A and B are shown apart, each in its own frame.
Chain A
Amino acid sequence: MTRLMTTVMGLGLATGGVFFAQDLIRQAEGARVDARLLHRQMEQTEARHQEWMERLRSYREDLPAEYERQYVFGLAAADTDRHVRLDLSMGQLSLVEDGYVVRVSSVEVGPSLEATADHPAVSIERGIRQIEERVRRGRFEMPAWADPQGEASDKPVKGLYGDRTLVLDDDTVLYSTPKKGPWASDDQVRPGGVEMSFTDMASIFGAVSTGARVYVY
């Protein structure tokens, strides 16, 4: 009788222990799964956060340009004299007078160049410019970026730009590609230059005089 009771108690105790232990293990596994899930969520959220931060940074970087753009556009909008507007982001050059957009031309804007030992930085900045020179079949000095070693002649060369060229007061050049010569290839827009078709250039050239304002935005 005692032996039977001892056996029953012992086995009951052992069985209870087994159930208890299994419950603990289940709980531990649950906690481990939760922790793994949390880590995974954390990684995903981190990635989303980084992506969001990247977008914010990029947006933040664009805002000063947008500010400048709006500022210059505001000035252009209030100008009733005949003037030229150069929209860098749209690649459009417009002839505007008294709020009427008389002509719109597609243009290509040359790339910016960082300053190096051979040449200064070249870029087209937003702002208000003026037409400093209207040049017909003119000669131009070879730009430093095109001739870093200064091997070309010091004399201005012909045919660097097309027949008609408008030079702005910050040395930005509005031009059409020359029809012949080594610079006739229009594969690459000149740094610091704005390239347009021959017809557009000729039309704009005739329409504006020296001193006319050019709004770059």
Chain B
Amino acid sequence: MSTEPRSSRWLVVVLGAISLGVWAYAGGGYMALQEARADLEDAQAQWENLERQWAAESGTLVEEINGLKVAIAEVEDTIEIEDLNPRGRFIAVSLHERWLELRDADSVIWTAPVAIGRGFRDEERQVFFSTPRGRREVLSMTKNPVWIPPAWHYREVSSSSGGRTVDLKRGGAVKLSDGSKVVVKGNSVGRVSTDGKFQAYRPGKDVVVDGKVIIPPFGTVQRRKSFVMGTRKLSLGTGYAIHGTNKPWSIGRAASHGCLRMMNKDIEELYTMVEVGTPVFIY
């Protein structure tokens, strides 16, 4: 009888202690949950603040950038489209490199060496024989061109042969020491001997007699020279041209009177790739 109530009390005490422990444990859990939730809310608030701050920062910058982009677009709008597109096919000649390039817009499609003007002065006529820089264009294209020598050619012949030039006019005559004379008959320059017989000089050959270099009138066959300009000619105006040559060793040198000389095979190839109106830039 006396042990039963004691053991019941003991049981109550034990169970009470367990309950207290358990609920204290639960209280700790509750506190931890509250703490964790506070942390989470704090982090969320921090995130929102940062987002606002980032948006403000980048917003200002993006606004500035957009303003500048509009300004750039306005400048771009002022540029004409045709100004931006590189032009079509053209010839560019570097006098320093003695080199010709056929270009299409911004690509080089074909190149070849050239001979350029010698850059010397004809003191008598005050003519400067050089290749002029600047823009020209192909004005005409000729196959198997014939060269009509200008007067300076005969002056050069006379200075190398030690003679003097005589300008022969149609209807005129140049008397020679043996009594014969040089005259023009039809389209030919020839010699009329004392017995009145006319013998034409070879077409295209310089007429040098009695120390005189005869300048044949225009239109005569002696004033027409084949092969000098090679097989093709692209006229550039005012007496200048790009042409072939009968002196291939001169290519790559300053050798001409101002024209641009090329190997015949090169000018023949170039001839097929250009047309009348193709711009030519000499620089």
Contacts and interface: CB of A to CB of B under 8 A. Distances in A.
A17 B23 CA distance: 6
Given A63-B68, A101-B106, A199 B96 contact: yes
B68 A31 contact: no
Interface in A104-123: 104
Given A56-B58, A99-B87, A206-B95, A78 B80 contact: yes
Contacts of B54: 49
Contact of A73 (B79, B82, B97, B106): B79
Given A6-B15, A32-B36, A46-B50, A206 B79 contact: no
Interface string B65-90: 10011011001101110111011001
A67 B75 contact: yes
Given A38-B44, A63-B65, A199 B97 contact: yes
A166 to B, nearest CB: 14
A93 B107 CA distance: 15
Contacts of B103: 100-101
Interface stretch (B26-34, B188-196, B263-271): B26-34
A70 interface: yes
Chief secondary structure at chain A's binding surface: helix
Interface in A10-62: 10-11, 13-14, 17-18, 20-25, 27-32, 34-35, 38-39, 41-42, 45-46, 49, 52-53, 56-57, 59-60
A18 to B, nearest CB: 5
Interface in B24-61: 25-26, 28-30, 32-33, 35-37, 39-40, 42-44, 46-47, 50, 54, 57-58, 61
A10 to B, nearest CB: 3
Contacts of B15: 6-7, 10-11, 13-14
A86 B204 CA distance: 51
Contacts of B36: 27-32, 35
A45 B55 CA distance: 12
Contacts of A95: 283
B135 A24 contact: no
A177 B194 CA distance: 71
B68 A64 contact: yes
A103 interface: yes
A98 B87 contact: yes
B19 A10 contact: yes
A193 B28 CA distance: 77
A31 B40 contact: yes
Contact of B71 (A29, A30, A46, A67): A67
Nearest to B61: A56
Given A28-B33, A35-B43, A103 B283 contact: yes
B80 to A, nearest CB: 7
Band of interface residues on B: 35 or more
B94 A103 contact: yes
A66 interface: yes
Contact of B43 (A39, A46, A64, A202): A39
A125 interface: no
A206 B283 contact: yes
A101 B90 CA distance: 10
Contact of A74 (B22, B78, B97): B78
A210 to B, nearest CB: 14
A157 interface: no
B11 interface: yes
A146 interface: no
Contacts of B76: 70, 74
A203 interface: yes
A68 to B, nearest CB: 9
A140 interface: no
Interface of A: 2-3, 6-7, 10-11, 13-14, 17-18, 20-25, 27-32, 34-35, 38-39, 41-42, 45-46, 49, 52-53, 56-57, 59-60, 63-64, 66-67, 70-71, 73-74, 77-78, 82, 95, 97-104, 199, 202-203, 206-207
Given A6-B8, A18-B26, 15 more contacts: A13-B15, A17-B26, A21-B26, A23-B29, A27-B33, A38-B44, A42-B46, A42-B50, A57-B61, A77-B79, A82-B135, A98-B135, A102-B281, A203-B95, A207-B133
26 contacts: A6-B12, A7-B15, A10-B12, A10-B16, A10-B19, A14-B18, A14-B19, A24-B26, A28-B32, A29-B36, A30-B36, A32-B36, A46-B50, A56-B65, A63-B72, A67-B68, A67-B75, A70-B75, A100-B86, A100-B92, A101-B86, A103-B94, A202-B96, A203-B97, A206-B96, A206-B283
